[in-house]
Each structure stands twice: as structure tokens, then as C-alpha cells.
Amino acid sequence: MPEITYREAIRQALRYQLQNDERVFLMGEDIGAYGGSYAVTKGFLEEFGPKRVKDTPIAESVIAGAGIGAAMAGLKPMVELMTINFSLLAIDQIVNNASKLHYMSNGQINVPLVIRMAGGAGSQLGAQHSHSLESWYAHVPGLKVACPATPYDAKGLLMTAFDDENPVIFIEHTALYTLKGEVPDEPYRVAFGKVDVMREGTDVTIIGYGGSVWQCFRAAKTLETEGVSAEVLNLRTLNPLDTDGILASVRKTNRAIVVEDDWEFGGFGGEIAALIQEHAFDDLDAPVLRIAGADIPMPYNGRLEQAALPQEAEIVRAVKEMV
């Protein structure tokens, strides 16, 4: 399989959808003439034209609302909100309309809408542009939330998102766009609600999603040199969540650490920790640990920003204390 970037994997999925489904169109800020803030849609305007690739005003509530209306009318829009913090301006449309219309219409209305947004920190974008708000959307019934960690996941999960007849929040970590990995040229799907065991282990389960998966993976490689066998789980999707896959791993290793960039207080890691405590308590040899971002606005200074995020050394230290 060829090696391509995370960015290119997303491009491949979008291009395939545009080429093979006339109902699909893209809309968002700067996605056309500019080619996207992260260059994902570069060249698409020239290739598919302004009816399929639409630049929008800087009005996130309007963008999301237009996408919902188009989806209700039978089209399959992909709305790009540039960054996850901008989605706060569209949260009423997403939470009160997109997520609820299928239920409130007793199944008569579908909203086949994909909302792409970039999240995460580590790129020195300041406190207002470095959010990890995945748990907010995973909390809402009627929304599916995908957080790809690899180029393979990015293409396969996005293809699956377009198959869904109701809304999917697709969150891309800003630090991963240049990450390379093996991706098939042909179309394929990655199932929602199925964890990827990225590394087998026997002593501890380290659980991550999005950008934190690679912190977990690197920590596991370091631990291996010190005689500790760590299993790394890449969640792929937060809603649906693969509870069976998480519990199976923890029952094998008897220890668990959850790693995420999000603030620890009220973060999604608490949900995973509670799940493990409730359903695998008798299998645990130690309490479930959480390693998360500091509960502060994200600093702009590069060194302070890294200090506010989970680090591999912190994971290694926590595992060694636990084991």
C-alpha cells in the first residue's frame, strides 16, 4: 500500500464522494478558492466547480443550518467549520436541530450531514483556537463522533461517515495533517464503534484517541525497553464507543490509563474510567488513571503549551508507578 499523509487520505475520501455521488457537495469558509485552511480541499473548486465546492461567509450558524436544510432536502453535504472552536457559534444548529430532527420526526426526516472540524492543540494557535471539545459532541444523543488518529482511519472513517443517514461530527487533529501512513488506493470503510489495538500488550492498557494515540504509542515503545508490555487502544470513535473492546483489553492487562488532550475536569477520559470501574472493577489490579491537558486556557508560548499537554514521559512515569 502507498504511504500518504493524513491530509491526503481525507482528500481521497472527499474526492471519491464527489465523483461517485451527485448529491454530495462541500461548503465552508475558504474551502474553495483558498483550498482550505489546512489545504485539504486544494484544487477541488477547479476540479468540481462552484456548485459542488462552495465558499461561505464567516457565519458558522448559517453554514451549519444551510447544511442541515440541504441534508433534509435529500442532498449529502459536507460542512467544514475550519476549527472546532468555531463550532461554538453553530452549536445550537448542531445540538438542537441536526441531532434531534430524526427523533422528533419519528424517523420521517434524515439529516445525512458530515461536519468536519479541526481540533486539538500543539500548533501555537492560542487559547481561542486550541480546543479539544470532542466530549461535548459525544455527549449528545443523535450525533456520531469520529476522531481519526491515522491516515488509514482518516480515509476509512470519513467514507463510513458519508454512508450514514444522520449527522456525523468528524474531528481532525491539527498536529496530524502531515503524518504519513499506509492507505489503500481503492475505497474502503472503517467501522464506527470498533477500537483498533495498535499495539498488543499484557501489563497495562493505554487508551487514546486522535492526537493522544501517538503519545500512547511512543510511551509504549519506551516502556518496552524497560520490560513493561503496554497495550495501546486507538478508540477511533467516541460515539459509538467500543465498550466491549475496551473492557476486553482491560480484563487482559488488569490495568488502564486514559490519555487525552482535553481538560481533565469533565473530559471524556472520565467516561472511560467510569465504564471500566463499573464493568471491570474485579479485574483491576490498580485504580484507573487519567492523564489529560491542564485545566487552563491553552498558552500561546510553545514551551508552556507543551507543558499544558500530556507528554510521553508523564505516561511512562504513571505506568511504571502503577506496575
Per-residue pLDDT of 264-306, as tens digits, reads: 999 999 999 999 999 999 999 999 999 999 999 999 999 999 9
User: What pLDDT shows up at residue 104?
Assistant: 96
Can you list the domains of the chain with their CATH numbers? Answer: 3-182 (3.40.50.970), 196-322 (3.40.50.920)
Q: How confident is the model at residue 122 (pLDDT cuts 50, 70, 90)?
A: confident
85 contacts 136 by C-beta, under 8 angstroms: no
φ, ψ of residue 40 to 5 degrees: the values are: -70, -35
The catalytic position among 8, 60, 80, 172 is 60
Q: Is 3 a catalytic residue?
A: no
Above pLDDT 90, what percent of the chain?
95
Q: Report pLDDT digits (tens) over 2-18.
A: 999 999 999 999 999 99
Pair 13, 19: CB distance under 8 Å:
no
Residue 165's pLDDT band (cuts 50, 70, 90): very high
pLDDT value at residue 255: 98
Q: How far apart are CA 161 and CA 156, in angstroms?
A: 9
Q: What is the mean pLDDT of residues 242-247?
A: 98
Q: How confident is the model at residue 123 (pLDDT cuts 50, 70, 90)?
A: confident
Considering the entire predicted model, what is its pTM?
0.95
Give the three-class secondary structure for 304: helix
In whole angstroms, give the CA distance from residue 223 to residue 231: 11
**pLDDT tens by residue, 124-151:** 888 888 899 999 999 999 999 999 999 9
60 included as an active-site residue: yes
From 8, 29, 80, 129, active-site residue: 129
* Residue 315 pLDDT > 90: yes
What CA–CA distance (Å, rounded) separates 217 from 223? 10
| Residue 306: Cβ within 10 Å count | 14
Residue 171 has pLDDT above 90, yes or no: yes
pLDDT for 124 equals 87
263 beta partners? 293
Q: Phi-psi region for residue 106, left (φ > 0), alpha (ψ -120 to 50) or beta?
A: left
Tens digits of per-residue pLDDT, 37-76? 899 999 999 999 999 999 999 999 999 999 999 999 999 9
Q: What's the CA gap between 196 and 281, in Å, rounded?
A: 23
Give the per-residue pLDDT at 112.
Answer: 97
| Spatial contact of 71 and 112, defined as CB atoms under 8 Å apart | yes
